[in-house]
Structure 1
Amino acid sequence: MKRSVQFLSSLIFISWSSFLHASEHSCKTIKQLRKENLTSALDASGFRFELDPEKGNQFEKLQVDFSKVKIVGLGEATHGTSEFSIVRHQIFRYLVERHGFRVFILEDEWLGGLHFNEALAKGESIENALSKLNKKGTFLTKETLELFKWIEAFNKNHKIDPIVVYGADAQAGNILLESFHYLRQKLPEQSTEIAKMEGLTKSLFAQLADPALLETVSIDTVKASLKAARKFETDITNSISRQNKQEARLLGLARFPSQILQKISAELVEGLAAAQGPAVLDAIFADQELVSLFDPSCLKGSFSCRDFSMAKNIKLAIDIEGKGAVFWAHNGHVGRFLSHPDIIWANPKTEDTKIVDNTGAFLNEFYGQGYFAVITDFHKGSFLARDASDGHLRAWEVESAIDGVPSSIPNLIHGLGHENFAINLRKKAKYPADKLFKVPQAIRIVGATFSETSNTLEESYMTAILPKYADTYIYFENSTPHSPL
């Protein structure tokens, strides 16, 4: 009996040990299987790449027919990450050398592009030309300088078919006043019209800058300004020959006053709505004459207004040059919409009060599959951004991507050994990436400013189903800050 009990006890112990071992093995297998499936899905739709501007041909692995693409948007999760600038150089160089792209467009004003191209043509130093292109200083880094040095060298060897640089943004009022001076030099026969518009703009800016006068800005003042800007655009546009590229490039300055004043007016409306409540919007929208003076997208708010202007300017640059273009900007502009808690204007297409159309959305409307959006992100590291409290440029460090509901894409990829990895979200494969990212995920969108409290889902991320938002996602395990000039 005693032996039977001992035998039974041994049998139970062996069975229980085997069960525990099998359960542990099963759990490991499930975890390993999930990792293997995730890796297979990424590898089927993407590839690891070496970060080196000389090795742009690696991006042939994206397997994209760029002959059908008019515009490639190159987005960045921050404006101050070195790796983003290097990969941008790498991809732009590849598109120029292998696919004949010749237009480089920045998130900066149109006038800066004109100044840059002229300075380069005159043989001025590339550092001096770059400072004229970007007076805000966002792009004045050693990494960006390397890209523009390459553009300079390329143009010396391709004088008949050079790269042309444009600015597409429409938000800096001080640049508007400089634009009038530039137009007077180029179109002296239009000096009277230019001076008239300049005087009206200065008067309006004086009211907006003085808190005591700001309250006196009426809807009639806004109407008069917008009417004058519309007339100015028509008159100057009609005086410019589209047959001459040098002259046609002035067209962006003809529409600039209207774009700036529409954005300012949209900001005034937002301020009124914030101070007096949304009912004030009904009264404004009831004024049909006022509504007719806005581009429809400007009625959705100042962000959408600015981004529609950028999209129109990008299209104008492509129309003038007739070549493929690259648009370099923030992820929030390059993707096909923007979702953020701070947005107060509803998108009628989605009925979502937290989504607005952005530059990428408008480019998608203009070009369909001819628009190819690339966004970048990283898991952890540091980057440059201006301190939200004092405006000083400094390096910020984040330990890792924020996780939560929804989870962040960098955290999904982190730990798989994919340090520099590009994923083609359009690619049809056995494990397509769109199935991997079929639920909303968090995408990093750090702006020009940052603070100690900014690294939150609410302030530094937006949510999106990635394949609907972009065509290629580029991941870096680590971010390092730009090197300012």
Structure 2
Amino acid sequence: MALGEVSHGGYEPIAFKANMVRYLIEDKGYRKVLFELPDLTSVRMLRSYLNNQKNAGDTSYITKWIKDAQFVDATTSVCLNLFKWIKQYNDRHPENMVEVMGFEIGKEQSIINFILNKYIIPYDHEQGQRYVYKLNSGVSDVEKVQILNEWLLSNESELRTKLNKEDFKWLYFYIHNAVSGLNYLDKDSKSRSDHSNDANLFRDSVMAENVKYLSGDDKTILWAHNSHVIRTGIKYMGDYLNQYFKNSYYIIATDFSKIARVDVIMKSQTERESKQYVTRTFKSGPSTAAYSILEKYGVSEGVFFHRDMLRMNIKEDTNTIDANGLHFYIPGLHNSFDALVVFSNIYPTAQ
């Protein structure tokens, strides 16, 4: 089940998605929720906290985690309550916990010390000392990730027998995701110079593989932007997942028919600075399904299924506002989504 949002900075779609997550967990037996976030540096510690029975009833870490994440106001308020609810749910269902994970492509370099200290040194102390030297001998982060990947490949069969299944799953995921992250940075640099879309397409292909790997055979909720989950026909994440999961891949997208007043990242900001946001206003595109339903039928909000679009002869175009405030439209296919939740207006905080 994929839950899309038209903008990361609008309250209504995010609040709707949080309510859907609760419903799918309580009434439909879903036990995995995958977020468009990096797992190692963001979600891993939260997952450990949510699943730890020793701190039952304590949600203080969640408040700190949300604050450190520097989300927009909408995500901060909604996810604070959602993760507290998941914690309470897990405390009540210790044998059937909800597991949160991050499927974003790896860009972080903190994997180096993490893999060294959690896996390499405990696995073989003598070999570990050699890798401590290798990874601290002035080589670049790119070379360090390559060293870790070579270590995994040369020891994979033994590691599978010595590590428990869960530890090996994350070891494999983190290293392969870091290698993909380095490839992404290289493609992103080239894409900026030749103005191509190769980097974004590569990122979505990797995130699709991450979702397939992390979800396994379990009923999984996917929390991401509309642009990643919708079927576009251009080989974004949603297209790969639709091809892989077939009839099991169900998409609920969100949109607005009138105005979206949302928070976006300030353009002057660098990646190393604390996140700063500015509120901007966008009008719904005249070609979008949400706008067309309003113009043709006078209905500004509601839940519309794919069959409704066919009956009303409405193209399934959707608005998209990215994190930096770029507003564009995703051309609709005959089945871009299974359901579209339309709001009249979207705001940065609860109205």
- Determine the C-alpha separation between the residues in 2 that align with 1:179 and 1:133: 22
Q: Which residue is 1:311 aligned to?
A: 208
Q: Which residue is 1:474 aligned to?
A: 341
Alignment: residue pair count: 330
Q: Which residue is 2:27 aligned to?
A: 98
Q: Which residue is 1:358 aligned to?
A: 236
C-alpha change, 1:473 and 1:439, in structure 2 (3 Å) is closer
Scaled by the length of structure 1, the TM-score of the pair is: 0.60
Matched-pair identity in %: 19
- Determine the C-alpha separation between the residues in 1 that align with 2:137 and 2:288: 48
- Determine the C-alpha separation between the residues in 2 that align with 1:168 and 1:323: 15
1:331 correspondence with 2:222: no
SS at 1:469 equivalent: coil
Higher alpha-carbon Rg = 1
Quick one: which of 181, 184, 206 aligns to 2:113?
Answer: 181
SS at 1:397 equivalent: strand
Gaps spanning 5+ residues in structure 1: where? 1-71, 206-223, 279-299, 338-354, 451-458
Quick one: which of 222, 237, 253 aligns to 1:375?
Answer: 253
- Determine the C-alpha separation between the residues in 2 that align with 1:149 and 1:318: 22
Q: Which residue is 2:186 aligned to?
A: 265
1:386 correspondence with 2:315: no
Alpha carbons 1:183, 1:194 under 8 Å: kept: no
1:108 correspondence with 2:42: no
Alpha carbons 2:301, 2:344 under 8 Å: kept: yes
Alpha carbons 2:66, 2:76 under 8 Å: kept: no
Quick one: which of 413, 419, 422 aligns to 2:303?
Answer: 422
Quick one: which of 455, 460, 463 aligns to 2:327?
Answer: 460
Alpha carbons 1:131, 1:137 under 8 Å: kept: no
- Determine the C-alpha separation between the residues in 2 that align with 1:99 and 1:225: 43
Scaled by the length of structure 2, the TM-score of the pair is: 0.81
1:145 correspondence with 2:40: no
Alpha carbons 2:103, 2:210 under 8 Å: kept: yes
- Determine the C-alpha separation between the residues in 2 that align with 1:231 and 1:158: 40
1:448 correspondence with 2:327: no
SS at 2:186 equivalent: helix
Alpha carbons 1:229, 1:257 under 8 Å: kept: no
- Determine the C-alpha separation between the residues in 2 that align with 1:246 and 1:178: 17
C-alpha change, 1:421 and 1:116, in structure 2 (3 Å) is same
Q: Which residue is 1:154 aligned to?
A: 89
Gaps spanning 5+ residues in structure 2: where? 270-274
SS at 2:250 equivalent: strand
Q: Which residue is 2:312 aligned to?
A: 436
Counterpart of 2:284, as a letter, is: A
Counterpart of 1:73, as a letter, is: A
C-alpha change, 1:149 and 1:194, in structure 2 (3 Å) is farther
Q: Which residue is 1:65 aligned to?
A: none
Alpha carbons 1:381, 1:397 under 8 Å: kept: yes
SS at 1:382 equivalent: strand
Counterpart of 1:331, as a letter, is: N
1:395 Cα offset (Å): 2.2
Counterpart of 1:169, as a letter, is: E
1:272 Cα offset (Å): 5.6
Alpha carbons 2:262, 2:347 under 8 Å: kept: yes
1:204 Cα offset (Å): 4.9
C-alpha change, 1:146 and 1:185, in structure 2 (3 Å) is same
Alpha carbons 2:105, 2:207 under 8 Å: kept: yes
SS at 2:261 equivalent: strand
Counterpart of 1:186, as a letter, is: K
C-alpha change, 1:440 and 1:423, in structure 2 (3 Å) is closer
- Determine the C-alpha separation between the residues in 2 that align with 1:469 and 1:101: 23
1:413 correspondence with 2:332: no
C-alpha change, 1:417 and 1:232, in structure 2 (3 Å) is farther
SS at 1:449 equivalent: coil
1:357 Cα offset (Å): 1.5
- Determine the C-alpha separation between the residues in 1 that align with 2:5 and 2:144: 35
SS at 2:321 equivalent: coil
